[in-house]
């Protein structure tokens, strides 16, 4: 199954390391970082699960819940998490989905036959509080994810929603943003009273402070 940006993330009911969940109910009013792993007790996955736990405060500050998936059982997940906590010097306190029958992995297109018929690739889904998919990324099994980029795109998505802007290449919080061409100069004067720099009529940049973004939310 191929899922597209803007679609409602498919719902499912499943067992996790923190008990059974209904995915849409679990999302609640939060954003979600949903990510999959090929298997338990593997080195790259161990660092990724640990890094997610280490970034718990950063995700919480963005109103983001984390949830992992591996095509193993709850018992195997719990044994593995003990190793993750020990080797990565952290505490994994987010749920990891048990998916031994590949139900969720197939529902979300995480099984790529040229990689494996039974293990999920390193998929990332960023899902908003309305349960819509806002971003997807897929890494091969032997390449760990870039968590700086995951946090960066969440910041960009949330700011874009709050301020009706777009972000340029390599944007970081605090840097100038782009006024989309769909917003006329007349509209822009109301939305961006701080003004803008018109490089071309279709390329206008402006600044948006954290305080302004908070007010817009």
**Residue numbers annotated as active site:** 45
Q: Which of 130, 122, 124, 203 is nearest to 168 (CA)?
A: 203
- For residues 1 and 108, is the Cβ–Cβ distance under 8 A? yes
Q: Kindly state the tokens that stand for 61.
A: 């500050």
Distance between CA atoms of residues 124 and 209, nearest Å: 28
Q: In sequence order, what E strands does 145-191 have?
A: 177-179
Please, what is the angle between helix 74-88 and helix 43-54, to 10°?
A: 70
Burial 60-78 (b: 16+ CB within 10 A, else e): eeeebbbbbbbbbebebbe
């Amino acid at each position: 199954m191929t899922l597209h940006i803007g679609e409602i993330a498919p719902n499912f009911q499943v067992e996790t390391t923190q008990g059974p969940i209904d995915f849409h109910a679990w999302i609640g009013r939060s954003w979600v970082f949903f990510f999959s792993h090929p298997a338990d007790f593997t080195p790259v996955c161990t660092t990724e699960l640990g890094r997610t736990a280490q970034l718990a405060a950063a995700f919480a500050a963005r109103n983001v819940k984390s949830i992992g998936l591996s095509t193993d059982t709850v018992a195997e997940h719990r044994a593995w998490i003990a190793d993750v906590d020990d080797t990565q010097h952290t505490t994994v306190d987010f749920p990891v989905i048990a998916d031994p029958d590949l139900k969720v992995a197939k529902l979300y297109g995480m099984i790529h036959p040229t990689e494996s018929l039974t293990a999920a690739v390193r998929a990332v889904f960023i899902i908003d509080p309305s349960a819509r998919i806002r971003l997807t990324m897929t890494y091969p099994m032997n390449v760990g994810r870039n968590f700086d980029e995951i946090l960066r795109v969440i910041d960009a998505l949330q700011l874009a929603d709050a301020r009706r802007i777009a972000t340029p290449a390599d944007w970081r919080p605090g840097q100038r943003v782009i006024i989309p061409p769909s917003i006329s100069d007349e509209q822009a004067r109301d939305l961006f009273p701080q003004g803008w720099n018109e490089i071309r009529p279709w390329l206008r940049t402006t600044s948006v402070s954290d305080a302004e973004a908070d007010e817009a939310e």
